């Protein structure tokens, strides 16, 4: 036994994809939030920090529902 929680094998592929997507989304949201906080919520500067386009950053801010606290 590996000590891992047992789940039926039929659920693994779909669940793994969902898990990976959720982890990626969470990490991306965290990186964007940190970049925005670092730059005093200057979206253009945050886009540069993240090495993505300004339009991509705006899309992701809307996608993840990131709001200035």
Tens of pLDDT along 29-44?
999 999 999 999 999 9
What pLDDT score was predicted for residue 6?
Answer: 52
pTM (2 d.p.): 0.76
> What count of other Cβ atoms lies within 10 Å of the Cβ of residue 11?
10
- Map residue 52 onto helix, strand or coil: coil
- Map residue 26 onto helix, strand or coil: helix
Kindly list the averaged pLDDT for each block of 10 residues, start to end, along the chain of length 69: 52 82 97 98 98 98 93
DSSP state of 18: H
What pLDDT score was predicted for residue 8?
Answer: 52
What pLDDT score was predicted for residue 1?
Answer: 46
């Amino acid at each position: 036994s590996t000590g891992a929680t047992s789940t039926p094998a039929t659920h693994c592929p779909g669940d793994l994809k969902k898990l990976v997507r959720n982890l990626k989304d969470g990490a991306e949201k965290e990186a964007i939030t940190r970049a925005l906080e670092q730059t005093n919520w200057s979206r253009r500067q945050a886009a540069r920090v993240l090495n993505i386009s300004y339009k991509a950053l705006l899309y992701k801010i809307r996608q993840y529902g990131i709001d200035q606290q």
